Amino acid sequence: MSANLAISPKLSKEELDPDFTIRMIILGPKANVSENEIVSHMHLLDLPITVKWTCYGAMVSGKEEDVMVAINEVRKLDPYNIFTKSRGFPPGDPRRCRGHRYGPREGFHQMEAEYRILGDVGDALKNPKDVLIEKPKPVDVDELVEIVKESVENDDS
């Protein structure tokens, strides 16, 4: 029997509130804080929010104003290496939680792809500088013809 991957969620009254916000806090590869520190810091704020410790950082949910206060406070710990993103599904929602899906949710792959440049993004925010980027130009047609002729002559001889 195949697994049920479309489980009906039992959302709480709070989660059904339109003002309910879910944010992910993602630590860049050069972050000077740990997941533990940011979670503890948010708990110490004593705000009516739910904080979940995750492998990429933390997930925080609650009323939008409280969540934004928590995010602004936690960002102060390492402003250039703490990134945030909103999330659609509430924490632990069986439609997305990997515990029920037998594998990571789709958003995790995206985060993994973008995580590769987060270190450089943090550096660029900390020390902005103008960079001259030279893009490789295509080979000139005449030059290509010359190269082909030369290689043909070399093969013949």
Which residues lie near other proteins (CB under 8 A)? 6-9, 11, 15-16, 18, 20-22, 26, 83-90, 93, 95, 105-107, 109-111, 113-114, 117-118, 120-121, 123-125, 128-131, 133
Whose tokens are 């991957």? That residue is 5
Whose tokens are 């009254």? That residue is 13
As measured in angstroms, the least distance from the Cβ of 156 to other proteins is 40
As measured in angstroms, the least distance from the Cβ of 9 to other proteins is 6
As measured in angstroms, the least distance from the Cβ of 30 to other proteins is 12
At 94, list the tokens. 């069986």
Q: Is 118 helix (H, G, I), strand (E, B) or coil?
A: helix
As measured in angstroms, the least distance from the Cβ of 142 to other proteins is 29
Cα–Cα distances in Å, from 22 out to 3, 79, 143?
Answer: 27, 20, 57
Residue nearer to other proteins on the CB measure, 7 or 45: 7
Q: Using CA atoms, how far apart are residues 5 and 44, in angstroms rounded to an integer?
A: 36
For residue 39, count other CB atoms closer than 10 A to its CB.
20
Q: Using CA atoms, how far apart are residues 51 and 70, in angstroms rounded to an integer?
A: 10
Residue nearer to other proteins on the CB measure, 41 or 115: 115
Residue nearer to other proteins on the CB measure, 11 or 147: 11
Residue nearer to other proteins on the CB measure, 88 or 138: 88
